[in-house]
Structure 1
Amino acid sequence: MAKRTDLDLASRALGGSVRYASDEFFAPREALILPGESVHDTSTFGAHGKIYDGWETRRRRTPGHDWAVVQLGAPGVIHEIVVDTAWFLGNYPPEISVEAVWMDGSPDEETLQAADWTTIVPSSAARGNTKNTYRVHNHYAFTHVRLNIFPDGGVARLRVRGTAVPDPRVLGSRIDLAALQHGGDVAEISDMFYSDARLLLYPGVARSMAEGWETARRRTAGNDYVVVTLAGPSTLDYVDFDTHYFLGNAPGWVRLSARTDADAPWVEILPRSKISSDAHNRFRLDHVTDEITAVRVDVYPDGGFSRLHLFGELAPAALSEAIAHWLRLLPSSAYAAMLASYGIPFAAVKDLSAEQLLTLTW
């Protein structure tokens, strides 16, 4: 069984972006959200001095503090913040705080600075060369976070761990129902010796074999598999097993099964089929009429691939519930503004009709 863990909602691999920063004189802000661990080379120096694998501001000689604003790749409910100061010893910030806000789209710097930010980590001590971890006790969903460092210094990585909350306004069309940003996730896995099976559900294309799922070489009978839960009860049209970068270690064959709920038996929807390495392997699912909640991918006998895409449409009742769930998690000001923007009179979520909820889809 796979252990369900929080996502790094800010990760560049999920589409996160460091939108603005007060200063990045010594090292660029973009490094904050890179998915890998920070590395250190004692010999790297540039025109501005020592180059660190992280974000580093100059020594502040005026009042105030430095900050960086991150747009989350997957908006969601934040459970934990990690401010990793790896390799920063004489130049780390001794104190930090973190704020968050919900804002649609990609607002400019002036709009973000004027927003009504919520403090999710109050001013707290930080240590150098340490993964400084802070629990967040707030049940609302957010789209942006602002890391404040006092007064200046460097941070190697920022991790924003939590649960993704899919934007239901894009769920009303034909989408990838397995994608993490749409609510898909890995529920069970036979083996992930080399890499995390969740990488299968990340957006975009893999940049190397390291950004996919790969099992150990099987020396016993049987085969490997992964179970993926979908965004909600859905009808499926086709599947894409993307094996790019997997050359000598892609599976020889795949099989796809589905079920309508956790207690239902698995039903084959794609028989065992040969696939190619380093390619898109797409199959139509013409005879799937039931509302599917999860799929099981069997690979024969072992191996890996970079991405799994399952395209289809969310069932109307599931879409309505996804919209209601999303609205319940919006901060109160964002909730009121959202209803007003669609011309819906203000009311509690439980009092909104299914017709009103469904008007929020794009």
Structure 2
Amino acid sequence: MSYTPKQIDLETFDSKIRSSYVEVSSASLGGKVVACSDDFFASRHNLLKPNPSISMKGQFGPNGALYDGWESRRHNPSFDWVIIQLATPSTSVSYVDIDTSHFSGNEAPQSQIFALSQTELSKTATKKISPNTRGWSEILPVVDLGPNSRHIFELGNDGNQGKWGWLMVRMIPDGGMARFRAFGTPTPPALPITLPPDYRSTEPIDLVSPLIGGSIVSCSDANFSPPQNLLLPGRGIDMSDGWETRRSQHQRGKYSPEGPLAGQERKEWVIIKMGVEGVIGWVEVDTAFHPGNYPVACTIEATLSEKGSDLSQAEWTQIVSKKPLGPHRQHFFDVEKSIGEGRVWSHVRYTVYPDGGSKRLRVYGYPLSPSASLTPSASAKLNLPVLPLTYEAFKPYGQVIQGYSFPSSAPKGINVTVANQGTAAKFHRLGKIEETYPEGVGKPGGSFVGCVKAQSRLEVRNGAKMKVELLERHPYTTQAFIPLGRPANSPPPGAFIVVVALNGADDKPDLKTVRAFLATAAQGVSFDAGIWHHSLFTIGGDLEYAVIERGTPDPSSLAYVEKISPSLDTYLQIPPFPPTPLPPGTIETAHIPHPAPVHTHTQNNGHDHLKSNGHPAGSGFLSSILHHGSSSTHASNSSILDPVLITPDNFSKYGSIISSSPSSTHKDSESSPDGKTTKHNCLAPIISTYPSESGAITGISVFRATRKVGLERGRVFDVRYMERHKYTSQAFLPMGKAEWSGQSEEALDEGGEFLVIVADNGPDDKPDPKTLQSFILPPNMGLSYAPGVWHHPVLILDSTIDLACVETQISTGLHGETDDRDCELLSWEGQKVFGRVAVPSL
């Protein structure tokens, strides 16, 4: 080569140079070692690890001393080598960092680097890359290395001007390297000067991805972890690989009375250069693995600045207004509708309030030249991306009703307790139920639970575009839709589209606030009273729903529902659904292990404070029979009860059934004009007789209910608990099981049924064992216990189920506090049991 490599001091590189380039060799971005001459002592795959090398001094394996790096055998006459496939197929390489940390006396004495492009590789007959592949170009001549140190070299024109996809790193003649890092600028996608009219129907790209040159420009704080992690692929492995600021600086540090930001709102920020200019469609903020230190809220701003310009003088436009964030989840935010269609940006600023940790930031959009002919303007139509439904994004319009894989993943303000003798986690008051009809307008009896059977209205396996013809609102009642489960051997469930808008100053939908979401069968929604929304729209498969509302005698009455056409043509861009599932174990799932729900405050429907039986496994009646070899323990015992399939008629004594096949005596039903949707109103009343001063609140909770130890198919179950709720009805709705792969909570395992055990109240004001009854509730039906009905706490067969629960309670679940009026629980211990039920085999 015709140049002498320049070595850069570490402080200059780390503080002034590194942030302007992408580490294109990093394993975090997809870089990998694809070939190696020898790694006898230490694996070649250590070379590209993102974390610094650690000392393993004094540790030995079968081949000798252990090192966190790459080390070859001794006595090589020429050189050892590795071939690295870079994270992007086309990139320049401007700097390399050859690190020999912890190698002292066995470090590589010298190194040399070659590069190969896809263009050169395509000229060869073989696709297997080796040192003998034609087309390798030297980009770093032989350089000397020292022990236990990093060596930064600035490359010449060959490295900077190339479009490289592979590097070959030599150790001359042999020895060890701890880490190797190559820094460059990936080749960005082409910048079109126009976009087609239907560009939103095409797949967007992540405009800040480092794989196309996205990079961090600056940030306000990086006390615990650097902002560069925000741009990495995947969802990370733990809390360490995100961006986390120091804790609150209230009245101290830069916010102290003498500090530069005294009196200002506390916040931290990071500025990101997009890999390519473009139109922004929506933004994803991921707080994976930050369950207790996520930011309270965030905003996203954008600007268009020329390369190298002073961003301190830039004009920033807020493209996502201040939005709340939640723990350990992806949040999806549409761009504000006040932003002109086709506006081009070059940088974004992500601001968190007041501080905290974020895992990833993705800015999805479409590359476009700043000189594009698509002039930014207020469009005569609205195009809405349909985004995954999350609690925080939906909060201005209502509530999302769903279970969570981990108690600490619950939204802020949602209390979580352990319920049903440790078999369930209860997420309290996820949804509210309210109605404010004028006297005599609403249906008698208050709010009810009904059921809707809905056929799919649109096949969206390849995505679809849909026009919003009407929006509606219910001015005096909340309205909740909760998908029910599916019977065994049913086809996969569909999903449903949720379109919402706030009310405007003209008492019509404010289209600046209109948003569209896709809800899976594992998610319900509750619309606040007065919120404009699209009518129920099922896609990709049929669904059955529980609906919770208070109607009017005339369902077309304006007191119940108002309908209006949007003032602008409004279109939805629906993504393909269901999407292709991600492989098991993919980093996109960001899976936190699910421990048994024992970390939160013990509670049984709000009341686990009474004595439990403490009955050890392997003792008592069931154990004694099992020890005598019986596999069907109810064969000769007439006192053992056999459950029957539940129906509206056989359960009517105890409450109501919520089903799309109601009793033949039920008359309050209606169907859509096309016959695809049938709604059965008022199947189960929501009843509360609490004294007004009790402070009891009616709401919708979710129990993530698991199998109880000792409850097995084909065995006898000892009934040792019975409970009743004197002042409230209590409805349980088995929810659907589904996921948006890689963008939602993981789906629960299929299957599961509800074993129902009830009894009459006896003359002693306790459950009468002579009246014991048992039923099997399939997953596509719900039930509601009437106030005062004795029943066993929830019993789930086969697999975990999320149960939406509609009830009135005094207890909020905060700190495990309970109120005796909410639930009366009785238990039987030792040889005493209330009854026995034969659990049916499958």
The offset of 1:129, in angstroms, is 1.7
Matches within 5 A, 1:315-354: 315=368
Give TM-score, length-normalised by structure 2: 0.36
Q: How does 1:70-85 map to 2 (within 5 A)?
A: 70-74=84-88, 75-85=90-100
1:149 aligns with 2:171: yes
Q: Secondary structure at the match of 2:118?
A: coil
1:337 is aligned to none
Q: Which of 42, 47, 50 is matched with 2:65 structurally?
A: 50
TM-fit CA distance, 1:292: 2.1
Equivalent position to 2:83, from 57, 69, 75: 69
Query: In the alignment, is residue 192 of structure 1 matched against residue 222 of structure 2?
Result: yes
- How far the C-alpha of 1:304 sits from its partner, in A, is 2.0
C-alpha contact 1:232 1:318 (8 A) present in aligned 2: no
Identify the match of residue 162 of structure 1 among 184, 202, 205.
184
SS in 2 for 1:77: coil
1:286 Cα deviation after fit: 6.0
Instruction: Give yes or no for the alignment of 1:278 onto 2:328.
Output: yes
Give the drift of 1:47.
1.4
CA contact (8 A) 2:212 2:276 kept: no
Matched, 1:204 2:234: yes
Q: Pick from 18, 23, 26: which aligns with 1:11?
A: 26
Relative distance call for 1:88 and 1:279 in structure 2 (3 A) is same
Measure, in 1, the Cα distance between the counterparts of 2:85 and 2:109: 24
Residue in structure 2 matched with residue 248 of structure 1 by the alignment: 292
2:75 alignment partner, SS class: coil
The 8 Å contact of residues 243 and 307 in structure 1, kept in 2 or not, is answered as yes
Q: Secondary structure of 2:46's partner?
A: helix
Q: Distance in 1 between matches of 2:366 and 2:232?
A: 19
Residue in 2 aligned with 1:313?
Answer: 366
Task: Letter of the 2:226 partner, please give it.
Answer: D
The 3-state SS of whatever aligns with 2:323 is strand
User: Quick check: 2:344–2:370 contact (8 Å CA) kept in 1?
Assistant: no
2:27 maps to amino acid: R
In 1, Cα distance between equivalents of 2:34 and 2:278: 35
Is the partner of 1:78 in helix, strand or coil?
coil
- Asked if the contact 1:66/1:149 (under 8 Å) is kept, the reply is yes
Query: How many Å apart are 1:111 and its aligned residue?
Result: 5.8
What is the aligned partner in structure 1 of residue 351 from structure 2?
298
Query: How far off its partner does 1:185 sit?
Result: 2.1
- Find the partner of 2:113 among 90, 98, 109: 98
User: 1 CA distance for matches of 2:174 and 2:296?
Assistant: 53
1: distance between equivalents of 2:155 and 2:101?
A: 22
Give the partner amino acid of 2:283: V
Matched, 1:213 2:213: no
Tell me what 2:465 maps to. none
| Structure 2 runs not aligned, ≥5 long | 1-14, 192-201, 256-263, 306-310, 373-842
Does the CA contact (< 8 Å) of 1:231 and 1:314 recur in 2? no
* Distance verdict in 2 for CA 1:176–1:38, change over 3 Å: same
TM score, norm. by length of structure 1: 0.79
Cα 1:200–1:10, aligned 2, differ >3 Å: closer, same or farther?
same
TM-fit CA distance, 1:297? 1.9
2:315 and 2:185 map into 1 onto residues whose CA distance is 28
Match of 2:144 in 1: 125
Contact 2:22 2:210 in 1 (8 A): no
The one-letter code of the counterpart of 2:61 is: G
CA distance in 1 between partners of 2:52 and 2:166 (Å): 22
**Using a 3 Å threshold, how does the CA distance of structure 1 residues 65 and 175 change in structure 2: closer, same or farther?**
same
Secondary structure in 2 aligned to 1:67?
strand
Compare the two structures and name the one with the higher helix fraction. Answer: 1
Q: Residue deviations 1:321-351, cap 9 Å, x none?
A: xxxxxxxxxxxxxxxxxxxxxxxxxxxxxxx
Question: Of residues 248, 269, 280 in structure 1, which corresponds to 2:319?
Answer: 269
- Indicate the SS of the match to 1:132: strand
Alpha-carbon distance in 2 for matches of 1:94, 1:111: 23
Task: Give the match for residue 175 of structure 1.
Answer: 205
Aligned equivalents of 1:318, 1:230: Cα separation in 2: 17
* 4+ runs deviating over 4 angstroms: 104-108, 316-319
CA distance in structure 1 between the partners assigned to 2:24 and 2:48 by the alignment: 10
Distance 2:94 2:298 in 1: 36
Q: Secondary structure at the match of 1:166?
A: coil
SS of residue paired to 1:248: coil
Contact 2:188 2:276 in 1 (8 A): no
* Structure 2 equivalent of residue 230 of structure 1: 274
Write the deviation string for residues 176-205 of structure 1: whole angstroms up to 9, x where unpaired. 111111222223322222221121111222
Q: Secondary structure of the residue that 2:91 maps to in structure 1?
A: strand
- Separation (CA, whole Å) in 2 of partners of 1:52 and 1:110: 27
SS in 1 for 2:94: strand
- How many residues of Structure 1 are paired with residues of Structure 2 in the alignment? 316
Letter in 1 for 2:229: L
Q: In structure 1, give the amino acid aligned to 2:299.
A: R
Does the aligned pair in 1 maintain the 2:22–2:213 contact within 8 Å?
A: no
2:132 corresponds to: 113
Paired letter, 2:31: G
> C-alpha distance in 1, partners of 2:173/2:371?
47
Distance 2:46 2:130 in 1: 24
Question: C-alpha offsets along residues 66-95 of structure 1, whole Å, 9 cap, x if unaligned?
Answer: 101111114422222222112222222222
Distance 1:162 1:293 in 2: 19
Cα displacement (A) at 1:254: 1.1
SS at match of 2:240: helix
1:35 to 50, 57, 65: 50
Shift of 1:306: 0.6
Tell me, yes or no, if the aligned pair for 1:84 and 1:130 is still in contact at 8 Å.
yes
Q: Is the 8 A contact 1:237 1:286 kept in 2?
A: no
| 1:269-320 CA distance string (max 9 Å, x none) | 222111111110111226242122222222111112010011111115789x
Query: Could you tell me whether the CA contact under 8 Å between 2:42 and 2:72 is conserved in 1?
Result: yes
| 318 and 86 in structure 1: CA distance in 2 versus 1, 3 angstrom threshold | farther
Cα distance in 2 for partners of 1:264, 1:39 equals 42
Instruction: Report deviation, 1:168.
Output: 4.4
Cα deviation, residue 167, structure 1: 5.0
Q: 1:167 to 1:118 in 2, by over 3 A?
A: farther
Alignment-mate amino acid for residue 273 of structure 2: T
Deviation, structure 1 residue 112: 5.9
Give SS of 1:90's match: coil
Give the superposition deviation at 1:231.
2.7
Q: CA separation in 2, counterparts of 1:112 and 1:174?
A: 37
In the superposition, relative to structure 1, how do residues 295 and 81 fare at CA in structure 2: closer, same or farther (>3 Å)? closer
Gaps of 5+ in 1: 320-362
Q: Distance in 1 between matches of 2:371 and 2:183?
A: 26
Asked whether the equivalents of residues 233 and 318 of structure 1 are also in contact (C-alpha less than 8 Å), the reply is no
Query: 1:112-138: CA deviations, max 9, x gaps?
Result: 631311111212222222223332112
Q: Aligned in 2, Cα 1:66/1:318: closer, same or farther, shift over 3 Å?
A: farther
Instruction: Note closer, same or farther for the CA distance 1:286–1:151 as it changes in structure 2 (3 Å cut).
Output: same
Supply the RMSD in Å over aligned alpha carbons: 2.6
Aligned partners of 2:47, 2:60: CA distance in 1, in Å? 19
- Structure 1 residues 295 and 80: CA distance shift in structure 2, 3 A: closer
Indicate the structure (1 or 2) with the bigger Cα radius of gyration.
2
